[in-house]
Structure 1
Amino acid sequence: MNFALDGFGGFVPFSRLPDTDVPAEPGVYVVVRRTETTPIFLPSSPAGWFKGKDPTLPVAELHSAWVPGEPVLYIGKAAAGQSEKRGLRKRLDEYRRHGAGQPVGHWGGRMIWQLADSAELLVGWQTTDDARATEKIMIADFVAMYGKRPFANRTG
């Protein structure tokens, strides 16, 4: 049984985000892997270093975090921010640029970039006024289903 993603749209590769009409509103997003093949983990992350920190995690930690058979790898949120100018479009662009090696502050979910097939991952989204609460509920539901957090959601 897979984690339900009712109401989510998008589901495009990160590389297509600049040409996709991603909503500017707040919301939640997911990163999914459409294959159930055993993942291959890269020993070094291609993601951007941020504030001098290497985004690479030990391969053993990646193996232990893996949830076999579940396509959802990460659940994230995009709040409006104090300026009300943030939201899904801005947050997902930061995530994409971080994975492309730029020094961008999107540390959460960085584990996906150590997947050898990260270029094939899809990102989907759903708008919601309370992104923080929705993300917490989704992660709690995932933990209830699998006994652990999604692969790339490492902190509580």
Structure 2
Amino acid sequence: MDFGKIESLKNEGFCGFVSVKSLLNDYSQIPAIRGVYMVLRTITKEPFFLDKGSGGYFKGTDPNVAIKILQGKWVYNTPVLYIGKAGGEGKEATLRSRILKYLKFGQGKPIGHKGGRYIWQLSDAEELLSCWKPLPADAPEDVESMLISEFKHQYLGKRPFANLNK
């Protein structure tokens, strides 16, 4: 898969490609099934990072990091900012419930979705897109790991901007 092109993601079965702003108004289009999802930034101008983003303080922990850290994590030549999973072995989460948690965390709610928190320090976070790939038969954790591994191979060992593990 070419992580630099949205067409490639579509060819791999990803669908949706809906803005955060739109999903906040109506998340019913996200399927209630397990799978993997991505957060994308299609805006081509340089990112502008906020000292204090909109992420929630889960268990009183500040989700914000120094702008220097964000600048160091930025990956150029790809719209992919984050790769996540929903559901799997012994887990009841669905794409809808997991993405909704992520969006609520981005609205300042104290929700446990620390992975991907860097996204909420982008000034254009509401313009970002979410896409997803339902996986009724495959293990989301395995697919997520494979996607992150492929990404790292393509981008000289760097993880997607907001992925902190794997």
Q: 1:56 is aligned with what amino acid?
A: N
Instruction: State the partner residue of 2:14.
Output: 8
Moved more, 115-124 or 10-19: 10-19
Is 1:141–2:147 an aligned residue pair?
A: no
Aligned structure 1 segments of 4 or more residues deviating by more than 4 angstroms: none
Instruction: Give the conservation status (yes or no) of the 8 Å contact 2:41–2:80.
Output: yes
Of residues 16, 23, 42, the one that matches 1:17 is 23
Unaligned runs of 5+ in 1: none
Query: 2:91, 2:67 → 1: CA distance?
Result: 38
Does 2:161 match 1:155?
A: no
3-state SS of paired residue (2:59) = coil
* Kept in 2: contact 1:81–1:87 (CA 8 A): no
1:35 aligns with 2:43: yes
**Is 2:35–2:85's contact at 8 Å kept on the other side of the alignment?**
yes
1:47–1:81 distance in 2 versus 1, CA, 3 Å: farther
Query: Distance in 1 between the 2:101 and 2:69 partners?
Result: 24
- Show the counterpart of 1:78: 86
| C-alpha contact (below 8 Å) 1:111/1:152 kept by paired residues | yes
Is the aligned partner of 1:50 residue 2:74?
no
**Alpha carbons of 1:37 and 1:83: their partners in 2 closer, same or farther (altered >3 Å)?**
closer
Give the RMSD, CA atoms, in angstroms.
1.5
Whether the 8 Å contact between 1:33 and 1:72 is mirrored in structure 2 is yes
Report the secondary structure of 1:51's partner residue. Answer: helix
What CA deviation, in whole Å up to 9, does each residue of 1:40-68 have, x standing for no partner?
A: 00011211100110000111110000011
Q: How does 1:93-104 map to 2 (within 5 A)?
A: 93-104=100-111
In 2: Cα distance, 1:14 partner to 1:38 partner: 19
Map of 2:141 onto structure 1: 132
The AA in structure 2 aligned to 1:134 is V
Identity %: 44
Counterpart for residue 113 of structure 2 = 106
- Cα contact 1:31–1:121 (8 A) shared by 2: yes
Give the paired residue count. Answer: 155
- Residue type matched to 1:132 in 2? E
